[in-house]
């Protein structure tokens, strides 16, 4: 594996609402190497999408990026001008959205929406661009792309559209692709196809990928490393198979337990008790303490910092304060 | 008392106080309502009482201009009628008509909308066709047509403006009924022997109240403008009961000789009144429409 | 496609049929038109004679069928006042009205679209607030009063612009137009601006609201993630989406302007069909009123039809079938 492509340090993003300030990202640290595939997992409302938009600086008022650094190839994106950011968006870092039907402009043809990316970020001539569009569409598995160029989004199925979105994301050969719940809006039957396609094209293009999902099952087959988010913080991070087979943080355990498993006969599916706390009134201590089966008095008092916990692993939990912990 | 306290502490009231615009709008509206209710007791003249008019007082400019008199604060018209008194009485006619037409339209429209949405089928299709066709014609023109056929008169104006006004209410209410109709509790209520029409009504009306409030507020302003326009064209209120619009028309002939106040001042009052209503309506729409939040 | 057009045409005919029914029967309640045409000292016999010659002695429903039959042949009767065929009276005055409405539409669009887009793109800037406040003010103004104020300032006080009439005209396709002469253009300014103000304000507010709605949508954020600049975002991505619902509304507004042209033409003594209507109402010239209403209804129905067709062209999601 190569050098660090993206280093996020102490990133805080807040939303100033009528009722108070929501700390959507409360100081996250994350490192991504070149060509690495990272999973970002957590419940909805945990700040995963905000993290994605913060990297691209697409946070709109009343939201703002309060502090931190986002180093992309060593340069801080938060210090860049808006014009510089525009050249980075799409060109170096591109995004795949959750619902392709709403992510594509309903009034522009497929051709125009891919072409826009090429016109913005490459110096190709019209003919070369057309060639490139056709090869991109073929690459994402759309047969007879010539016949589909003039079509509008509403004429495609959800799975096909997500392929188009992937083609758009790949068009300018980005170094990093952020996929925000790319399969959630799709039929279960096509989810696996899309995931496999994404894995293939990302490797092919030599890009890194951040895969945002609430579904640990999605992460398990695809990513090398995974970071688990809860209430705007990363609570556990490590190699995917280790995290899944021996989770350290009680929240990760809870997430894993609530996945139905084949062959394992169980009665009621266990769930994490309690509710995600109100982000306006986060407790002083560990945000998960109120729902945690193993919470102690200390957990209510002080928030645990991220600490190394084994080879390539980190977690933010008082239970693992002393390095490697019992299972 | 408890309800009032709750209201004063609500988010709605918080926004209301913060939005100076909304405060300004309601101050204007309250001022005009008070004027319409109590103004006639305070002004110097009853402009309809022809005996109180003296021709020697004709065309007095407003008091702050040269030749103006304190007795005629806003000047006087060609019959020596005090403009301030005329405007106060005119406001009364304009505002009462606006509120009356709004109330009648709202009542008719809501009933039709409830019925069409609940009954469905042919009745619904027919009623909504009427609404569609009527909405594709400008309200002003339809009202102009009705008034030209039946002649001037307050009650005719009331009927004409209600005839063009009910459709928007009907459409809104019907939409809300349709949204609610398919839900399971309606079927459930039928099973336990409740009248489904009553159930629909009881559940739909609270849902549309906020929309209706917004529509109604803006509607009052529109009625006042339409009435003024019709009166200006000579097909609105009768000459004996001049609304603000008719006052503007009366002053038009002498405008070119520099006597501007007879036309301009009543127009100012229409504008301020409607502006106040629209300010309030705008605030209410932003505040009550959850889609925009 | 053709089936759709055919069905639409039949709908239009049905609407016009209903309009003719309503107009005819409502107008027939408006007093005895015979008294309008006979001299004041006419004898009962002369009155009966005139009634027969106008066909007003027959039952109402027969009168209606005669009316519709004549209507299909383009004959709408003769004016009691002008003693001329009313179809000629109305169509003669149509270009003047269309010219004024056209100028007003143009003016409204040229101001409303950029101002609305700006107010949506920068909702919190001072200029946006001023635009929105001004537009709310604009919808609160009685248009006849605006006309009066404009006349008072620009014609009476400053003497800059003429206050009435069409001014000089020049023939184009056999029709006189004001906008082809400098004098005519000067005459057009005040009426057009007066007529445009209300529509401008409403249109501006609608465009802003639609833009705000569109700018919140996912595809706008996706376009930003592609690196699209904010100007391209507004004009290439958002505006077209925002304008689609505006198109329907725009048709209604043009109709509304034709209706309000009656007011503007009355103020500015503009010799169009709206002024003809108001004069005819005041003179109880029933055939002219009926003719005006039928012609204008046909225009509205036509505008709605055109808007429907335009809609299907700009929105690929709609399939005519």
β-strands A314-315, A233-239 pairing: antiparallel
In Å, how far are A5, A256, B82 from A250, measured between CA atoms? Answer: 30, 10, 83
Q: Minimal Cα distance from C237: which residue of A?
A: A105
With an 8 Å Cβ cutoff, is A154 touching chain C?
yes
At A62-73, the pLDDT tens digits run 888 888 888 888
> Percent of chain C beyond pLDDT 70?
93
Residue A47 has pLDDT above 60, yes or no: yes
Say whether B227 sits in a helix, a strand or coil.
helix
pLDDT (average), residues C217-222: 89
Kindly report which listed range (A15-19, A98-102, B139-143) carries the lowest average pLDDT score: A15-19
Residue-level pLDDT at B16: 61
Residue B270 has pLDDT above 60, yes or no: yes
Q: Minimal Cα distance from C297: which residue of B?
A: B137
ipTM of the complex: 0.84
Kindly report which listed range (A30-44, A137-151, B67-81) carries the lowest average pLDDT score: B67-81
Q: What is the pTM of this model?
A: 0.82
Residue-level pLDDT at C115: 92
Shortest distance between the Cα of C30 and any Cα of chain B, in A, equals: 5
- Rounded Cα distance, A43 and A214, in Å: 5
Q: Which of residues 91-150 of C touch A (CB under 8 A)?
A: none
Q: Minimal Cα distance from C228: which residue of A?
A: A86
Contact B140 C140 (CB under 8 A): no
- Domains of chain B, by residue range, sit at 2-40+83-292
At A220-278, the pLDDT tens digits run 878 889 999 888 888 888 888 888 888 888 888 888 877 766 555 556 666 777 777 77
Name the more confident of B149 and A178: A178
**Strand (E) positions, chain A?**
4-17, 20-33, 37-41, 63-72, 75-76, 93-96, 176-180, 208-213, 225-230, 233-239, 307-308, 314-315
Contact A107 C222 (CB under 8 A): no
Q: Measured between CB atoms, which of A53, A56, A104 is closest to C219? A: A104
Contact A97 C218 (CB under 8 A): yes
Name the more confident of A213 and B183: A213
Please state which of the four CATH numbers 1.10.150.20, 3.40.50.720, 1.10.3720.10, 3.40.50.300 is assigned to the domain occupying B2-40+83-292.
1.10.3720.10
- Rounded Cα distance, B284 and A221, in Å: 52
How far, in whole angstroms, is CA C193 from its chain's centroid? Answer: 14
List, in order, residues 6 or more apart from A278 with CB less than 8 Å away: none
Touching subunits of A (3+ CB pairs, under 8 Å) are: C
- Rounded Cα distance, A16 and A44, in Å: 19
The answer to whether B280 and B25 are in contact (CB under 8 A) is: yes
Kindly report which listed range (A129-143, A256-270, B167-181) carries the lowest average pLDDT score: A256-270
Residue B109 has pLDDT above 90, yes or no: yes
Q: Minimal Cα distance from B248: which residue of C?
A: C145
Residues of chain C contacting A95 with CB distance shorter than 8 Å: 222, 225
Name the more confident of A37 and B56: A37
Q: Measured between CB atoms, which of C218, C229, C237 is closest to A102? A: C218
Contact C225 A91 (CB under 8 A): no
How many residues appear in chain A? 327
Residue-level pLDDT at C103: 92
Contact B275 C149 (CB under 8 A): no
Confidence label for C37 from pLDDT (cuts 50, 70 and 90): low
Helix boundaries (H) for chain B: 2-9, 11-18, 20-42, 83-119, 121-135, 139-150, 154-181, 184-191, 196-233, 244-255, 261-288
Q: Best interface-test mutation with B: which of C134, C142, C212, C305 has the largest number of B CBs within 10 A? A: C142
At B41-93, the pLDDT tens digits run 777 667 776 666 666 666 666 766 666 666 666 667 777 677 788 888 888 88
Contact C258 B138 (CB under 8 A): yes
Contact A107 C316 (CB under 8 A): yes
Contact C142 B248 (CB under 8 A): yes
Touching subunits of B (3+ CB pairs, under 8 Å) are: C
Q: How far apart are the first and last CA of chain B?
A: 29
Residues of chain B contacting C138 with CB distance shorter than 8 Å: none
């Amino acid at each position: 594996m190569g050098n660090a492509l993206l280093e996020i340090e102490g990133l805080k993003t807040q939303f100033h609402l009528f009722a108070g300030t929501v700390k959507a990202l409360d100081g996250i640290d994350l490192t991504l190497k070149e060509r690495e595939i990272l999973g970002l997992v957590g419940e909805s409302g945990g700040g995963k999408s905000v993290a994605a938009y913060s990297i691209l600086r697409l946070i709109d008022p009343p939201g703002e990026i309060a502090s931190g650094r986002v180093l992309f190839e060593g340069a801080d994106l938060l210090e860049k001008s808006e014009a510089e950011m525009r050249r980075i968006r799409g060109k170096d870092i591109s995004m795949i959205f959750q619902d392709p039907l709403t992510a594509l402009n309903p009034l522009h043809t497929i051709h125009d929406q891919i072409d826009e990316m090429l016109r913005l970020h490459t110096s190709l001539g019209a003919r070369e661009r057309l060639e490139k569009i056709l090869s991109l569409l073929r690459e994402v598995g759309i047969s007879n792309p010539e016949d589909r160029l003039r079509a509008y989004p509403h004429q495609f199925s959800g799975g096909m559209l997500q392929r188009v979105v992937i083609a758009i994301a790949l068009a300018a050969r980005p170094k990093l692709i952020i996929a925000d719940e790319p399969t959630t809006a799709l039929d279960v039957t096509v989810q696996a196809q899309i995931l496999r396609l994404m894995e293939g094209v990302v490797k092919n293009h030599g890009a890194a990928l951040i895969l945002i999902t609430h579904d640990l099952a999605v992460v398990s087959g695809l990513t090398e490393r995974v970071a688990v988010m809860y209430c705007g913080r990363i609570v556990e991070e490590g190699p995917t198979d280790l995290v899944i087979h021996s989770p350290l943080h009680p929240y990760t355990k809870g997430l894993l337990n609530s996945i139905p498993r084949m062959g394992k006969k169980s009665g009621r599916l266990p769930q994490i008790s309690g509710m995600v706390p109100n982000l306006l009134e986060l407790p002083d201590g560990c945000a998960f303490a109120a729902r945690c089966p193993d919470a102690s008095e200390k957990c209510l008092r002080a928030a645990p910092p991220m600490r190394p916990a084994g080879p390539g692993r980190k977690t933010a939990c008082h239970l693992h304060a002393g390095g490697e912990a019992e299972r | 008392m408890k309800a009032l306290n709750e209201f004063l502490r609500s988010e709605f009231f918080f926004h209301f106080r913060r939005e100076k615009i909304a405060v300004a709008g309601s101050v204007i509206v309250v001022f005009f309502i008070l004027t319409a209710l109590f103004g006639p007791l305070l002004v110097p003249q009853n402009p309809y009482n022809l005996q109180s008019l003296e021709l020697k007082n004709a065309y007095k400019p407003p008091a702050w201009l040269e030749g103006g008199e304190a007795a005629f604060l806003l000047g006087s018209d060609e019959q020596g009628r005090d403009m301030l008194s005329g405007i106060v009485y005119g406001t009364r006619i304009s505002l009462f008509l606006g509120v009356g037409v709004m109330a009648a339209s709202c009542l008719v429209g809501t009933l039709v909308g409830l019925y069409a949405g609940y009954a469905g089928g042919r009745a619904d299709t027919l009623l909504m066709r009427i609404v569609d066709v009527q909405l594709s014609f400008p309200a002003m023109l339809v009202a102009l047509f009705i008034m030209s056929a039946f002649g001037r008169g307050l009650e005719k104006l009331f009927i004409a403006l209600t005839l063009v006004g009910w459709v928007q209410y009907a459409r809104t209410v019907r939409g809300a009924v349709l949204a609610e109709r398919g839900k399971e509790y309606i079927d459930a209520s039928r099973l336990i022997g409740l009248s489904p029409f009553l159930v629909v009504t009881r559940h739909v009306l609270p849902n549309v109240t906020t929309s209706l409030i917004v529509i109604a507020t803006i509607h009052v302003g529109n009625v006042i403008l339409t009435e003024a326009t019709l009166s200006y064209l000579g097909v609105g209120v009768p000459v004996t009961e001049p609304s603000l619009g008719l006052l503007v028309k009366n002053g038009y002939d002498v405008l070119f000789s520099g006597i501007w106040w007879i036309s301009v001042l009543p127009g100012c009052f229409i504008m301020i009144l409607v502006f106040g209503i629209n300010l309030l309506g705008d605030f209410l729409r932003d505040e009550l429409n959850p889609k925009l939040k | 496609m053709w089936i759709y057009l055919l069905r639409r045409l039949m709908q239009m005919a049905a609407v016009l049929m209903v309009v003719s029914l309503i107009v005819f029967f409502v107008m027939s309640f408006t007093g005895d038109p015979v008294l309008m045409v006979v001299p004041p000292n006419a004898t009962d016999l002369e009155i009966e004679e005139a009634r027969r010659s106008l066909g007003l002695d027959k039952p109402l429903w027969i009168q209606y069928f005669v009316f519709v039959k004549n209507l299909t042949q383009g004959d709408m009767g003769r004016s009691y006042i002008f003693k001329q065929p009313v179809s000629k009276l109305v169509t003669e005055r149509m270009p003047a009205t269309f010219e004024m409405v056209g100028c007003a539409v143009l003016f409204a669009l040229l101001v409303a679209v950029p101002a609305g887009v700006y107010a949506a793109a920068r909702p919190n800037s001072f200029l946006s607030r001023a635009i929105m406040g001004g537009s709310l003010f604009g919808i609160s103004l009685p248009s006849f009063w605006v006309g009066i104020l404009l006349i008072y300032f620009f014609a009476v006080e400053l003497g800059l612009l003429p206050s009435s009439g069409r001014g000089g005209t020049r023939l184009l396709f056999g029709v006189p137009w004001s906008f082809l002469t400098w004098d005519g253009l000067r005459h057009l300014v005040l009426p057009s601006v007066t007529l445009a103000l209300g529509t401008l304000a409403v249109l501006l507010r609608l465009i802003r609201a639609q833009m705000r709605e569109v700018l919140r949508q996912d595809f706008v954020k996706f376009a930003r993630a592609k690196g699209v600049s904010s100007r391209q975002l507004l004009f290439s991505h958002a505006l077209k989406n925002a304008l689609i619902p505006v198109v329907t509304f725009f048709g209604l507004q043009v109709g509304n302007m034709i209706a309000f042209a009656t007011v503007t033409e009355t103020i500015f003594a503009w010799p169009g069909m709206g002024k003809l209507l108001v004069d005819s109402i005041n003179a109880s010239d029933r055939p002219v009123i009926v003719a005006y209403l039928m012609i204008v209804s046909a225009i509205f129905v036509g505008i709605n039809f055109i808007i429907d067709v335009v809609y299907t062209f700009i929105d690929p999601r709609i399939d005519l079938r």
